[in-house]
Structure 1
Amino acid sequence: MNYNQKLFSLANLINNLRNYFFLKLRFKSFGDIKPSLTLVGVGPGDPSLITIAAIKAIRKATVIAYPVSQLGGKSMAAEIAGDWIKGKRTMPLVFPMTLDGDSLDQHWKIASEKLSNAIQTGENVVFISQGDPSLYSTCCYVLIYLKSHYPECTLKIIPGVNSFSAAAAAGQWPLSLQKEALFVSPVPEEPKDFENLLDESLRKGLVLVLLKLGFRWEWVRPILEKKGLLDKTLFVKKVGFFDQEISKAENVSKDSKPYFSLLIVRPHWPSIK
């Protein structure tokens, strides 16, 4: 090995040692936490429903990522966790509200690569999402992509309170009793499919949790009335927020409702003597 090669080798060694001690110092104050990604559910809207585990993860994070529908847009998750992410570096990730599969795939990939890059540069990243990360969440797509393309990536999920559990509690409406089955789904796209689902619920005693109500309420309400289920359906709008609305469906007007509205249909109530 000549002089220049020895010099180059020594420079590489010094650089590697510098990087090593830099990372050690970077994470010393957090208990030697390794670079990782934690998917954290922050609940449906009420900040008091954020779990202790979620708060601990947020406090230890060096970067907080959260979903937005467009660049510069607001994030419900960031608003819910606002008191705990103040002063943190943030990473808004765009997940557009579209049904275009190609566009969604592209944005999921871009977001996942940004998260991967942050982890590879030594960041401890927390990706917060509204509700629970495993239930109709953008977190799920990030999780699937990273596990497939970066299996060496350290991942963790911290569950959050989901919207229908919070709604059931706020409305004092039991979700499931004894051997009752609980069916959770977005509201069907077509009235006929919705009617068939109600018939099955009546026949089998299924308790229905129907999410993402929105404009469909205009035709959902008449069908519930036709089936005699208006007084057995709980309507909940924006649970956990200051303008939440909780009422039996029979007391709710027919006009279109916000996207983040849900129904809990309980066709049979137990008789307790």
Structure 2
Amino acid sequence: MYTASFEYRRANSVDEALHWLAADPENSKILAGGHSLLPLMKLMLAEPQILIDIGRIRSLQGILVEDNWLRIGAYTTYAEIINNEEIARFCPLLAQVAATIGDVQVRNRGTIGGSLCHADPQADMPAAALALDAEVVIESPRGQRVEPVNGFFQAPFMTSLAADEILTAIRIPKIPAPVLSTYVKRSHPASGYPIIGVALWVRMDGGVIRQCHLAITGIAMLPFRAFKVEEYLQGRTLDPETIARVSSLAEEDGILEEDEDGYKSHLLRVYVERAFWQLVPSVKDE
């Protein structure tokens, strides 16, 4: 299957990419790993006249520690995230999520920035970004702005990114050890995308929950944080009664459309419970 004709440009800097993008923002697209954009082009669902390849811009690659933050270049691949020591130390949940995405080829080429910008409601990485309180760094001819990822996703396949803006980095606050985290998902048998994905991290102190972040993707129109669950868990122990309660509370944070038979609600309860139960053995070992 062939795409419509387009002009290919390889940018050597963010400024050069922004210059080309600003010249014709409505007809230009940024090309990162290409795993989302190129299939859409082959299906004629996207027909950009200009493709701006940012794959050779070194400032968009790599992971840096900055004070209390990890700065991840938008072009950083899933494989780099999985194998990075700083990620493993300060936000292991991100590596746990990245390790479940696609296959080896996808993880070697797919990028964190590309995933967030594509805003597929059934993607894995938005759940990690939400659970980790990530911020996106966005640049345009008007300068730089930083936005919490919680407001970045606005609708399926739609973000707050303007036509002449480029996402250049993701910033994640460091989570000092010890922290317990997991990512549990039910994958679609054909695509591997999550029918539901549950990203969870918990900080315990003496068997009591002091902090908890829970984000869910795949099952609703947008990935979402389960704030009611997080609030309920403050100061509680992770016992069967608590886990049963939070699984039902999670439904109150997400809008599950087209769920007349209750299948999505059931799936949500089951996978939230599974995520918490995965942490129980680690809690007992503390």
The two structures have a TM-score, normalised by structure 2, of: 0.26
**Normalized per residue, which structure has more helix?**
1
Give the TM-score normalised by structure 1. Answer: 0.27
Considering Cα pairs closer than 8 Å and 6+ residues apart, tell me whether 1 or 2 has the greater RCO. 1
**Higher Rg:** 1
